Amino acid sequence: MDAKILYTPILKGKANDLKALGRLPRPLASHMLPMVELLAPNEGERIDANCMRFSSQLQKYCPLQTVSLDLHSIAPADRMTDRSMALEALCANLRGLRIPFVPVFGFDHEPELWDRIARIASREGRGLTFRLKLEDIEDSDGTTAEIIRRLGHANIAAGATNLLIDLSTVAGMDPVDIVSTRELVQDFIDRAFTVRDFALISVVGSTWLPDSLRFWRVCPTGSLRRRSLLRQLSTKRPARA
């Protein structure tokens, strides 16, 4: 993963979001690894139509941007009209359109999807992104061990694996909670980089509070950056032996 990746926004797979992504200047876009979520089908809509619209919009608006794709809205049993499995069919279509993507798996996703996501990641050859929630990182030892176990079973290198810690919104947190969360996240990052050299660890959270966390970003060289709406702080992790 490019060590100059600076921002990992989470976007909905809607036309306006993808248009905005595609309109970014290429020099800026090259420093981003967005995560894009496939939305659930509209009421009464077939999974085929939803997937085809999503593929078409990616091709139309941001065909050159590598994205992490979170496809958890596709249920394990979902099939296209031709009876092919919807998850694999969508990924095959994206591959045919030459849209660069990295599959996403989260521990809150359907467990039976893991083997299928891992096979897709191996086939695409761009690695894998784990989407982690706050509860996942509370047990840093257990979560990192489980990630490593899964990667070993799937024969995916840690160096090709991104960890995205999704804090959702931190707008309701008081300053004490924010500090506590920051320490929890830092402990997990330190643990993760101690056991494996992951490609990228990103921490994403949204807020409109002026002095609160906007996002943290950790690059493979070990620097930790925290940006708020009014200021940007930078600290260094201890150098690894």
pLDDT beyond 70 at 210: no
pLDDT band at 179 (very low <50, low <70, confident <90, very high): confident
Query: How much is the pLDDT for 233?
Result: 26
Q: Judge if 92 and 78 occupy the same domain.
A: yes
pLDDT band at 46 (very low <50, low <70, confident <90, very high): very high
Q: Judge if 107 and 142 occupy the same domain.
A: no
The number of domains in the chain is: 2
Q: Which of 30, 108, 107 is nearest to 62 (CA)?
A: 30
pLDDT band at 77 (very low <50, low <70, confident <90, very high): very high
Q: Assign 3-state DSSP to the chain and report helix, strand, coil percentages, each to 5.
A: 40, 25, 35
Query: How much is the pLDDT for 30?
Result: 83
Q: How far is CA 125 from CA 131, 141, 227, in A?
A: 18, 27, 31
Q: Judge if 161 and 106 occupy the same domain.
A: no
pLDDT beyond 70 at 213: no
Q: Judge if 118 and 140 occupy the same domain.
A: no
Among 70, 96, 126, identify where a domain stops.
126
pLDDT band at 125 (very low <50, low <70, confident <90, very high): very high
pLDDT band at 209 (very low <50, low <70, confident <90, very high): very low
How many other CB atoms are found less than 10 A from the CB of residue 135? 10
Q: Judge if 157 and 212 occupy the same domain.
A: yes
Q: How far is CA 94 from CA 39, 67, 86, 130, 178, in A?
A: 16, 12, 12, 20, 39
Query: How much is the pLDDT for 235?
Result: 32
Q: Which domain, by its residues, includes 142?
A: 130-198+207-241
Q: Judge if 148 and 223 occupy the same domain.
A: yes
Among 103, 126, 149, identify where a domain stops.
126
Supply the DSSP symbol for 159.
G
- Mean pLDDT across the stretch 218-231? 38
Q: Judge if 70 and 2 occupy the same domain.
A: yes
Query: How much is the pLDDT for 207?
Result: 61
- Mean pLDDT across the stretch 37-66? 95
Q: Which tokens in the block code for residue 39? A: 């939305």
Supply the DSSP symbol for 112.
G
Q: Residues 162-177: pLDDT tens digits?
A: 999 998 877 777 888 8
- Mean pLDDT across the stretch 71-93? 96
Q: Judge if 177 and 217 occupy the same domain.
A: yes
Q: How deeply is 232 buried, as exposed, middle or buried, from its count of CB atoms within 10 A (0-12, 13-18, 19+)?
A: exposed
What percent of the chain clears pLDDT 90, i.e. is strictly above it? 70
First to last CA, the chain: 21
Which CATH number does the domain housing residue 65 bear? 3.40.50
- Mean pLDDT across the stretch 54-64? 95
Q: Judge if 165 and 241 occupy the same domain.
A: yes
b/e burial code for range 138-153 (CB count within 10 A of at least 16 → b): eebeebbeebbebbee
Q: Which of 107, 95, 154, 109 is nearest to 134 (CA)?
A: 107
- Report CA Rg, the chain: 18
Q: Judge if 98 and 31 occupy the same domain.
A: yes
What percent of the chain clears pLDDT 70, i.e. is strictly above it? 83
Q: Judge if 9 and 119 occupy the same domain.
A: yes
Q: Which tokens in the block code for residue 189? A: 């990052």
Query: How much is the pLDDT for 214?
Result: 42
pLDDT mean across residues, the chain? 84
Asked whether the beta carbons of 97 and 55 are under 8 A apart, the reply is yes
Among 80, 105, 126, identify where a domain stops.
126
How many other CB atoms are found less than 10 A from the CB of residue 15? 13
- Mean pLDDT across the stretch 127-144? 95
Provide CB contacts within 8 A for 159, sequence distance 6+.
Answer: 197, 198, 199
Q: Judge if 56 and 174 occupy the same domain.
A: no
